[in-house]
Structures are given as C-alpha cells and as structure tokens.
Amino acid sequence: MIPVTVADLGEHEILRRLRPYCAAVVGDDGAVRSLPAGEQLVVTTDVLVDQVHFSDRTLPPHALGWRAAAVNLSDLAAMAATPMGVTIGLTLPPDTPWSWVDDLYQGFKDCLDHHGGAILGGDLCRGHQRSLAITALGTVLPGQALYRNRAKAGQMLVATGVHGAARAGLALLLAELDLVSPAAEAWIQAHQQPVPRFDAIAALQTHCQDLSSIAAMDTSDGLADAIIQICDQSQVGATLLRSQLPIPPGLVEAVGQTTAEQWTLYGGEDFELLLSLPPEIAGALSQALPDSQIIGHTTLEPEIRLRDDVNHGTDIPLDQDQGYQHFQG
C-alpha cells in the first residue's frame, strides 16, 4: 500500500490531525498561558536537523519525538523550572509519510504526559530537509532558578546518572559496537528515550532551601563541557577524580578503559545534570539519589584537572574541543 504523504494531506488537514496531540488552546495566532502569581517565565529553544542531530537509522519517529521533548525539558530542569509546554516548528519535505509525523507527535505527547507540559502550538512549513525547532516554556519562583555562574570554591561537583550511555547506545545502533546484554538495551534506551532529571531538582529542593550558591547545567554537550562551562562562568577551577567518573556499568568491559572514559567525559547527549553544591548538601543529595556521584570539587585555582588520586598522580587537562561542536565535523 502506498503511504499517505504530507503532500497528499495538505497543511490544513495535517494541522487538523495534529490537534489531538496538543493542548485545548491550540488554534489561534499565538498561545496564551496564565502565569501563577509571582512566578518567573523560563524559555529555552532547541533546533534538530535531519542527518545532523537525528536519522531514521538511529531514531524512529516516536523516539525522535520523545527525545526532542526531553532535550528541552532537560534545559528546564537545569534551571529548576516546572514545564508548562512546548511549541514545535516543523519543516517537512512533501514526500514525508503522514505516519512518520503521527508517530513523531505521539512521542512528543508521551514524553510531555510523563514529565509535564503540553504541546501549545507551533508552525509548519515545506522544506528540502526535515527539521524541528522546539521552544519550551517553564516557570520558577523568584530566587529559585539555578544558574551556571553560582559555583564557589570548595564545593562538591555532583553528576546525576551515568555518562557515556547515550554514546554507547549510538554505537550499538550504528553497528560500531556489537553487544547483546541488558546493559546494551539500557544504553540504546539512554540514546532514544532520555529522562529529564526533574527528580534530582525535587530532591535538591527538599534538602536545600537557599539555592543562591548552587550552580547547575545539563550535560547534553558532554560532562566535560558542563564542567568547563560552570567553572568558566563561576571563575573557579576543579579537580576531578578518575576513580569517581560516572562510567556506565559494563562499558569498560565492552570498549576498554580509555574509550569508556572518553565517552563518559565527551560523549554527550546523556541529558543528566551537573551540580556544584556545598559539601553537606552534596552528601544529602547523593544519599537521596542513588544514581548520583560526587566526581570532584571546585578550587580557587582556575585550572581544571583530572587526577588519578586526590593527592597525587598525573593531572590531565580537560579538552574543551572534544565536546560536541556545532560547526565542526
């Protein structure tokens, strides 16, 4: 059977079919949402382009929709914001099957239904290449937003979750890595269905009433990049311990120590959080979140070092250029 394409349907029929995935307010020239009294609006935007950020080989449309929503929700989580919803700008070639669009929006809706927010609207246009431009909206109480420039020397650096799993999942999907195990299934899920860490923010808010001296960033461009960004914007340095890197269980056995460390530091797309916290809060948070890990501490000296041991060993500077670079490669 010949699949129905978006060209067969036309713009108005496509929009009519997409409306059930959206909030009830969709249909006017702009989305209108009331803000609770006293709250601040948090806005984040992300663009995903076919063959640059995704492909059918590694992300079927439902997984792409989930992942595209999670990418933006992760940014809201990093700011300690509660999600309100997203708008979606969608560019499609005319021969795109309708089933691809339908599954894409189902993935969006499933992620938002699970983690919060709704599809508030967007835009649709014709183009030679599929792309998605997502804007996410969230709210946060005054004084409760998290920023990258709040780290202080002597704090603990805490990473939620493992890092390198999404990179391992991509390697499996591209047949660069051949492994059949529960770990392999978890790595593929980490790539295709990441989880924004609102649970980590809820745990942090439980153990800390004053967030003004806490720095946070999501690790979508790599753990090393997040460390470098927080240190640079906070004017501090950091010492990391190799033994405390959040390497996924089984990854060293699958790819070797060197590659496992590279993927953990530079693989990216894990959508976890990096937090710089006072020691007592870091300890409480690591107890509340069993998958979190204290990976090092901040320093007055501006250098960022990876050490074999806290007191001695080889200092290995982090390479900012190894993280994801939008206009290279």
Full DSSP string of 214-263? -EEEE-TT-HHHHHHHHHHHHT-EEEEEGGG--PPTTHHHHH-HHHHHHH
- Amino acid 74 reads S
Same fold, 7-27+37-140 and 156-322: no
Which pLDDT score is estimated for 327? Answer: 35
Segment 18-38 mean pLDDT:
80
Domain boundaries, the chain: 7-27+37-140, 156-322
CATH superfamily membership of 156-322: PurM-like C-terminal domain (3.90.650.10)
Q: What is the pLDDT of residues 265-286, one digit of tens each?
A: 999 999 999 999 999 999 999 9
Q: What is the pLDDT of residues 142-174, one digit of tens each?
A: 989 999 999 999 999 999 999 999 999 999 999
pLDDT band at 326 (very low <50, low <70, confident <90, very high): very low
Q: Is the pLDDT of residue 99 over 90?
A: yes
Structure-block tokens of residue 128: 């030679």
CATH superfamily membership of 7-27+37-140: PurM-like, N-terminal domain (3.30.1330.10)
**Of the candidates 296, 279, 181, the residue with the CA atom closest to the CA atom of residue 243:** 296
Burial class of residue 121 (count of CB atoms within 10 Å of its CB; 0-12, 13-18, 19+): buried
Which of 98-107, 194-203, 211-220, 314-323 has the weakest average pLDDT? 314-323
Instruction: Name the 3-class secondary structure at 45.
Output: strand
Q: Is the pLDDT of residue 310 over 90?
A: no
Which of 1-15, 19-33, 158-172, 265-279 has the weakest average pLDDT? 19-33
The whole-model pTM stands at: 0.92
